[in-house]
Amino acid sequence: MTVAVYIFVMAAVTYIIRMVPFTFFRKKIKSRFVRSFLKYIPYAVLSAMTIPAIFTSTGNVVTSVVGTLVAVVLAFFDLPLIVVALAASASAFITGLFI
């Protein structure tokens, strides 16, 4: 019974979040500031959720920092996501073996 309530609440919240903008904003948003603000919200939220998880996922800050540095450097050179993810994971794992 409680699982059904949880699913209903999640569905209601998702529906409300998606329908509120359609009901209040009928015209195109012309404010350059508001448009740019709304454009960067997903990136800010994703970063706010991901960055703390990166540094607590391995249980060791050193391995997390090494993995993050490898990922940032490889991403800077526009390598594919799978390469970045595998190299960052491998570097964190290998660093963990030596620590």
Which pLDDT tens digit goes with each residue over 43-69? 898 889 999 999 888 889 999 999 999
What pLDDT shows up at residue 38? 83
Give the pLDDT of residue 17.
86
Residues of the chain short of pLDDT 50, as ranges, are: none
Q: Tell me what pLDDT residue 85 has.
A: 95
What does pTM read for this prediction? Answer: 0.63
The predicted structure's pLDDT at residue 1: 76
The packing angle between helices 32-57 and 61-76, to 10°, is 140
Please give the Cα distance from 63 to 25 (Å, whole number): 46
What pLDDT was estimated at residue 11? Answer: 94
- Angle among Cα 27, 29, 34 to the nearest 5 degrees reads 155
CB 82, CB 56: distance < 8 Å: no
